[in-house]
Amino acid sequence: MAYTRLSDANEITERYMDSLLIEQRLIDSVVADTKATLFGEEFSMPVLTPAFSHLSNYNGREYTGLEEYSIAAKESNILNFCGMMENDMFQKIMDTGAKTVRIVKPYADNGKVRDQLQFAEAADAAAVGRPMLPSLEKDGAPGVVKFLEGIRNELRFIMSNTGFKTVSEIDDSALYQY
């Protein structure tokens, strides 16, 4: 069958995976350990969920797509990410028991940003992050590079002002409580 769906991510991924040739080793094979440690927690594999937001209920199911992804992440013991949402929805995700990173949008209202960061901390989120999509939409890859360089510069500034020379030295003593 001819390849006709140029914009279909599923077909593109399938074609790529089918193009890989993996040599099987039956003699001298090993038992693979896919565990990975992130944020001090051990996960069953270094696979992360995408930072979804705005997924509603499917086919009349009890949970939203966000909650179902979170339940699957917990059952698979992988790190869960979630995107833009209100605190009540984030609480539902945390109630699933999945270790979750919350991406907080840079709202014009700094109070809302602070509220969502504090809520994530109180709910015991694994971490918080910032979205890169606006940088990608505006300037493509150079925009994302600029965004990441800005984060690195902010981190260097914060580290130099708190006395930490390396990222591995950073501990809770550097945190300021609002």
pLDDT at 89: 93
What six digits make up the tokens of 133? 């999509």
Could you say which DSSP state residue 77 is in? T
Q: Residue 102: helix, strand or coil by DSSP?
A: strand
| pLDDT tens-place string over residues 108-161 | 788 888 899 899 999 999 888 877 777 777 888 888 888 888 888 888 888 888
Q: How confident is the model at residue 42 (pLDDT cuts 50, 70, 90)?
A: very high
101 forms beta bridges with: 81, 127
The reply to whether 39 and 94 lie within a common domain is yes
CA distance 18 to 20: 6
| pLDDT tens-place string over residues 53-93 | 777 877 888 898 889 989 999 999 999 988 888 999 999 99
Cβ(150)–Cβ(130) below 8 Å: no
Q: Is 107 a member of any domain?
A: yes
Q: Is 7 a member of any domain?
A: no
Range of the domain at 140: 132-165
Cβ(96)–Cβ(120) below 8 Å: no
CA distance 105 to 121: 16
Domain count, the chain: 2
pLDDT at 177: 58
pLDDT at 46: 84
Q: Is 72 a member of any domain?
A: yes
pLDDT at 151: 81
pLDDT at 108: 76
Residue 17 has pLDDT above 90, yes or no: no
The reply to whether 66 and 148 lie within a common domain is no
